Amino acid sequence: MDPQLIHPSTSNAHPPTSPEQDPDGHGLQLAGGVDPSDVSPTSGQAEPKPKPKPKKSERDMGKTLLPVARVQKILKADKEMSTCGKDAVFLISVAAEEFIKRLAQAGHQQAQRDKRSTVQQRDLATAVRTTQHEELAFLEGVI
């Protein structure tokens, strides 16, 4: 008896031992909760599930990709900052998204110049130092 197979009807019943006895795998479940239909007949290994689609990176009108509550929490942590209205928090969120996007793009371009696909800290530092990205010059002492 194959210890990998579990028959759901009774504990004393023997599971089918060949595909001819249960060709569709109905009523069978592999150990670990793997569905028999997910197992390749040749390898006996579970087939990988398709990767989930990446999250949408385009902002809907009136919404932000960054959690508004988190942005509010960051703003409240600044003692010099007074309270912000909902519209101000939204605009700060949009500005933060744009900043992250531009910094990431600059780092990605530098990584491509170095013939790499992974952006590293040194790519961001180089992007900040180059005159090509003057808008990032304020980060020069930070990175």
Please list the pLDDT of the chain residue by residue as tens digits (143 residues): 555 544 444 445 455 555 555 555 555 555 555 555 655 555 556 666 777 666 656 667 778 889 999 999 999 998 888 888 999 999 999 999 999 999 999 999 999 999 999 999 999 999 888 867 788 888 888 88
CATH number at residue 122: 1.10.20
pTM of this prediction? 0.55
Cβ atoms of 64 and 90 within 8 Å: the answer is yes
The answer to the question of residue 70 being in a domain is: no
Helices (H), the chain: 68-77, 86-113, 121-129
Any idea what the Cα angle at residue 48 is, between residues 47 and 49, rounded to 5°? 115
Tell me, what's the pLDDT at 137? Answer: 84
Q: Is residue 48 part of a domain?
A: no
**Integer Cα distance of 48 and 30 in angstroms:** 16
Residue 120's domain spans which residues?
A: 84-139
Helix (H, G, I), strand (E, B) or coil at 29: strand
Cα 2 to Cα 16: distance, rounded to the nearest angstrom: 9
